[in-house]
Amino acid sequence: MNAISVKAEKLHKNFGSFTAVNSISFSVEKGEIYGLLGANGAGKSTTIRMLCGLLEPTTGDAEVAGFSVRKNPEEIKRRLGYMSQKFSLYNDLSVKENITFYAGIYGLRSELIKKRKQEVIEQTGLTECEHMLVRYMPLGMKQRVSLACAIMHNPEILFLDEPTAGVGPLLRIRFWDIMNELTSCGTTVFVTTHYMDEVEHCHKLSLMHEGNIIAQGTIPEIKQMVFPYPIIEIEAQDVVSAYKKLVSEGSELGTISMYGAVIHVIPKIFSHDSISTIKEFLSTHNITFKEIYEVQASMEDVFVSLIKTYEHANPSQS
């Protein structure tokens, strides 16, 4: 078995009467990308701040790099890299100066700083702007500088809180390439995100909603748990009208939802006749469709289904 880098045991955080994180438990193996997926306000950032030793849990505990977040937060801080949602860069310093400053905070000697600085500048694609003042840089470039500062000291565990929020798709891809490079060298990456497509890069993940973990495991495990059978996808001539008609009169078919420009139907009981049954319903109700076929569930399908199930089971909390 691989060594455990992060292990949370009933980690809980209250702010007054508000429960931000509700007794969550999980473990992260060394060298894997672990994702924490959820909408804004789900409790992801509070969780990551507790794991980084920046926020004391109300109850419960977690071990990070073998140290308790309650008993040894300072030991943890020496062993991790942390990139928060809010930039902690110095606007009046250049890219190189920011990186040098943070390397000094982590206790790197000047010889190592000189060597590592050039490595991370190249790794994060900052070669062309290493002398530029941070204040003049666009959001995506600032994200790269923050990442460079976070990995300068070769941390055992890298915590990234919404690292790709607000940046373009090409830069998002580059960020995930860098994360894969880091894990291939043994670094553990713990990342929070609300982008459903991004979690496909994670080895394992937890889905959070209202401070609770509502599912965890590998992506195939979670998809299989929620959707053991394919989804029926409908391309309709007038997708909005078709959707309204299906919702109002086709509840016996199963769960119906809009997914971009198509309609998804999750049959109550899946069989080889499911498509025929839906086609018959569409014809009977004069709903013109272009195509109808089986598709595998996306993570968005999974997340929406899990939230609906959770809120149905916990009506007083939703």
Whether CATH 3.30.70 fits 228-295 = yes
**What pLDDT score was predicted for residue 87?**
67
Ranges of each domain in the chain: 4-224, 228-295
Cβ–Cβ < 8 Å for 57, 70: yes
Class of the CATH domain delimited by 4-224: alpha beta
| Identical topology for domains 4-224 and 228-295 | no
List the one residue out of 256, 220, 216, 214 whose CA is nearest residue 239.
Answer: 256
Which stretches does DSSP call E strand in 88-172?
Answer: 157-161
State both tokens at 171. Answer: 């830069």
Return the H-helix or E-strand segment holding 81: strand 80-83
State both tokens at 210. Answer: 């209202």
Q: How far apart are CA 198 and CA 172, in angstroms?
A: 9
Q: What DSSP line would sit under 7-50, residue for residue?
A: EEEEEEEEETTEEEEEEEEEEEETT-EEEEE--TTSSHHHHHHH
Chain-centroid distance, C-alpha 260 = 21
Residue 317 Cα distances to 11, 21, 40, 45, 307, angstroms = 19, 14, 17, 20, 12
CA angle 77, 79, 12 (to 5 degrees): 50
Cβ–Cβ < 8 Å for 79, 66: no
pTM over 0.85: yes
Can you give the pLDDT of all 318 residues of the chain as single tens digits?
579 999 999 999 999 999 999 999 999 999 999 999 998 899 999 999 999 999 999 999 999 999 999 999 999 998 999 998 776 899 999 999 999 999 998 889 999 999 999 999 999 999 999 999 999 999 888 989 999 999 999 999 999 998 888 778 888 888 899 999 999 999 999 999 988 888 889 999 999 999 999 999 999 999 999 988 889 999 998 999 999 999 998 888 888 888 889 999 988 888 888 899 899 999 998 888 999 999 988 888 898 889 988 888 887 655
Phi/psi of residue 192, each to 5°?
A: -105, 145
